[in-house]
């Protein structure tokens, strides 16, 4: 194909004794006029090619109807008020409603936040919000154009008006202190340049206290420990601020507990009790009961358990953990304080099991929930009810009300068109089976295989999805495009790869750092198993992943280009030798290692997609997805990888670069953007894997 011209420089660096060419480094500056012109040319080229796909119009029409399906989120109670998000299918962003009672909320409530009024094109979104303990004020975080940068403002819930206060934050959820006049947030030095397209590496993270009636105060930072961040939660009795201190995306952390004193309308924080001051395991805050701090941990329990520690004793240097909920054969995925006890969510073969138990771990009561993926769990020590969000592959989140301590669950029925159960499905009847592949080292790798019940036998076009990193579990949960792919007659495979969190810490550790190749061997093993059982053929197999999953696709297609009929790396980490130099990239060394060290370089260079593109190789049809305001995995990864593939491609299979405008890593996209991207993705994979969509 005749691709847009891409300048190749002769830049070569010697890294740890190896010469490494980087001819497309000039593409790293997204604001440079030459790069802007190149991106525009690539956009036009991709649009022309995508516009010729036979099934594009059919997928676009169907995806438009899918994302326009009315929906509601999971109700949450915050400081005496109820909140829920809704979308009737006509607005780019969800609208948030509030009411004083759940019945009033279900009946409608009143609008408290409407992000659709924040920008003309619908690309400004709500990141998060929190409510002051007395219910008077709401701090909410706004993101523009998909950027991770947030502008936190404060709204008076009685008047609906915003105060003059505004702070710039990142990776932060405002946490109110008991005085109702101050909240915590996290920021960086780069906040002054929060435009969403900058690529400069983030400096020191600072945990701050914002005072509505005065100057902000610095609480915590670690200038000598790069990429170390603190996140705080206030206990329900307002007595403690429990801060988790974590380096980057590591799944180990420290825990400090600050005593809170509130007098004369002002909360102050005392010297912290350093409960855990060596990050030897993962510790998640659950609740404080009197002097007892409850934590979820994998310390001496790779599948997870719950422990407690006495803060009074810890203040004297005597830290001893007492076990509350022991490790089981299933992975402990989440623990929430709920009424007088605990709400536990375990993963049994990547499928959720929820139960309620007493605070000492006794008398477990199962929560009766329908089958599906657990996507939300909301409860509080201050109320005897909880809410659980369940989604299925073809239906978005349904909210269920759980009565404590019995565990009895029932649906939360919103207005008729927003019923939390019985929403219209655009997918045909289908069957989900649990399959097992074998990786290169003999490890069994489970995956879900979803096939339409259309009576067709033999191999069919199949879309394989995976992630495999950062201890994040992958489920057979809702994604808008799954219904459309099934409706077209395709099958879906969802892989549980090493590096994920489905099977505990050992499973995660087996897929990172020096063991990262296991993840790629796992997805290749799943692909080969799909072929071996007759579910598909290499020419009918598509591979899709986003972010770390985009890396997965990039590696799999460069290591086994013969195994796939089409590939889609979305917002992927594709330059493993320079990822740590941009925005928050250095935080990911927990999984990818440090390429500035000899051992880190050797491991990364061996699989880095950008550096393993070989000229003259016949790569499968490739659609590279990115966005111009992705300041997490910056678009330069996709720019350089697409350029390298277009130059090296040894066949007539296309390599397209689709760059979304005014969008980021994924969160906060408008409904229209979601529908458009899925339509292009599915039409591309369908065309190149031989899926004859209806009407195509």
Per the annotation, the verdict on 665 as an active-site residue is yes
DSSP output for 411-424: E-B-SGGGBSSS--
Question: Order of strands, edge to edge, in the sheet holding 351-357?
Answer: 331-338, 341-348, 351-357, 365-366
Residue from 22, 628, 630, 680 carrying the catalytic annotation: 630
Query: Distance of alpha carbon 282 from its chain centroid, rounded?
Result: 19
Are 385 and 404 in contact, with CB atoms under 8 Å apart? yes
Per the annotation, the verdict on 547 as an active-site residue is yes
Distances (CA, A) of 194 to 241, 483, 632, 638, 664: 28, 37, 13, 22, 13
Distance CA 76, CA 56 (A): 39
Per the annotation, the verdict on 31 as an active-site residue is no
For the stretch 318-323, contacts whose Cβ atoms lie closer than 8 Å and that sit 24 or more positions apart, written own/partner, are 319/275, 319/276, 321/295, 321/297, 323/361
Are 158 and 100 in contact, with CB atoms under 8 Å apart? no
Beta strands in 177-239 (DSSP E): 182-187, 206-211, 217-221, 228-234
Distance CA 93, CA 90 (A): 9
Residue from 547, 608, 662, 676 carrying the catalytic annotation: 547
Helix, strand, coil % over all residues of the chain, rounded to 5: 25, 35, 40
Residue from 346, 401, 611, 665 carrying the catalytic annotation: 665
Lookup result for tokens 């202190």: 177
* Cβ density class 118-154: b for 16+ within 10 Å, e for less: bbeebbbbbbebbbbbeeebbbbbbbbbbbbbbbbbb
Distance CA 602, CA 117 (A): 50
Active site residue ranges: 547, 630, 665
């Amino acid at each position: 194909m005749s691709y847009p011209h891409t300048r190749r420089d002769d830049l070569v660096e010697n890294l740890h004794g190896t010469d490494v060419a980087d001819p497309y480094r000039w593409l790293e500056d997204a604001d440079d006029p030459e790069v802007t012109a190149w991106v525009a040319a690539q956009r036009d080229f991709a649009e022309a090619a995508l516009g010729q796909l036979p099934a594009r119009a059919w997928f676009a029409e169907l995806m438009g109807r899918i994302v326009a399906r009315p929906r509601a989120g999971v109700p949450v109670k915050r400081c005496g008020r109820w909140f829920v998000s809704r979308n009737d299918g006509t607005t780019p962003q969800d609208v948030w409603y509030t009411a004083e009672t759940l019945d009033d909320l279900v009946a409608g409530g009143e609008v408290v936040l409407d992000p659709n009024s924040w920008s003309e094109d619908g690309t400004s979104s709500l990141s998060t919000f929190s409510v002051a303990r007395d219910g008077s004020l709401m701090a909410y975080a706004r993101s523009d154009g998909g950027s991770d940068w947030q502008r936190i403002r404060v709204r008076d819930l009685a008047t609906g008006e915003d105060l003059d206060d505004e702070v710039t934050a990142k990776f932060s959820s405002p946490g109110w202190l008991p005085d109702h006049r101050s909240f915590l947030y996290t920021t960086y030095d780069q906040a002054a340049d929060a435009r969403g397209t900058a690529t400069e590496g983030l400096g020191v993270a600072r945990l701050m206290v914002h005072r509505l009636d005065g100057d902000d105060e610095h609480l915590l930072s670690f200038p000598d420990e790069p990429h170390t961040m603190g996140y705080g939660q206030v206990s329900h009795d307002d007595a403690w601020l429990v801060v988790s201190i974590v380096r980057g995306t590591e799944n180990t952390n420290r825990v400090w507990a600050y005593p809170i004193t509130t007098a004369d309308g002002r909360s102050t924080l005392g010297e912290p009790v350093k409960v855990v001051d060596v990050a030897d395991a993962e510790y998640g805050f659950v609740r404080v009961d009197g002097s007892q701090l409850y934590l979820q941990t994998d310390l001496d329990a790779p599948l997870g358990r719950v422990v407690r520690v006495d803060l009074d004793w810890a203040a004297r240097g005597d830290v001893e953990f007492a076990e509350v909920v022991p490790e089981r054969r299933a992975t402990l995925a989440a623990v929430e304080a709920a009424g007088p006890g605990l709400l536990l969510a375990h993963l049994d073969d990547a499928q959720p099991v929820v139960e309620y138990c007493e605070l000492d771990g006794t008398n477990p009561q199962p929560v009766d929930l329908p089958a599906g993926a657990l996507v939300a769990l909301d409860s509080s020590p201050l109320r005897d009810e909880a809410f659980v969000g369940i989604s299925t592959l073809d239906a978005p989140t349904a909210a269920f009300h759980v009565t404590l301590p019995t565990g009895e669950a029932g649906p939360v029925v919103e207005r008729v068109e927003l019923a939390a159960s019985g929403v219209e499905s655009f997918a045909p009847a289908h069957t989900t089976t649990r399959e097992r592949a074998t990786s290169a080292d003999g490890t069994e790798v489970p995956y879900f295989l979803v096939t339409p019940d259309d009576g067709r036998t033999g191999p069919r076009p199949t879309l394989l999805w995976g992630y495999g990193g950062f201890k994040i579990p992958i489920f057979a949960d809702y994604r808008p495009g799954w219904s459309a792919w099934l409706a077209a007659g395709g099958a879906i495979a969802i892989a549980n790869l090493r590096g994920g969190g489905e099977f505990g810490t050992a499973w995660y550790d087996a897929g990172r750092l020096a063991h990262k190749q296991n993840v790629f061997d796992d997805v290749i093993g799943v692909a080969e198993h799909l072929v071996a059982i007759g579910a598909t053929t290499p020419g009918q197999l598509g591979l899709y992943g986003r972010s770390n999953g985009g890396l997965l696709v990039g590696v799999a297609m460069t290591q086994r280009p013969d195994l796939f009929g089409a590939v889609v790396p979305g917002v992927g980490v594709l330059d493993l030798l320079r990822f740590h130099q941009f925005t928050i990239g250095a935080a990911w060394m927990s999984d990818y290692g440090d390429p500035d060290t000899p051992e880190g370089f050797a491991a990364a260079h061996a699989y880095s997609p950008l550096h393993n593109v070989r000229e003259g190789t016949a790569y499968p049809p490739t659609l590279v997805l990115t966005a111009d305001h992705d300041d997490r995995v910056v678009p330069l990864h996709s720019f350089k990888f697409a350029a390298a593939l277009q130059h090296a491609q040894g066949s007539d299979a296309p390599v397209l670069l689709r760059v979304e405008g005014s969008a980021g890593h994924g969160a906060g996209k408008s409904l229209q953007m979601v529908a458009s991207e899925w339509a292009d993705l599915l039409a591309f994979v369908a065309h190149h894997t031989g899926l004859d969509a209806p009407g195509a």
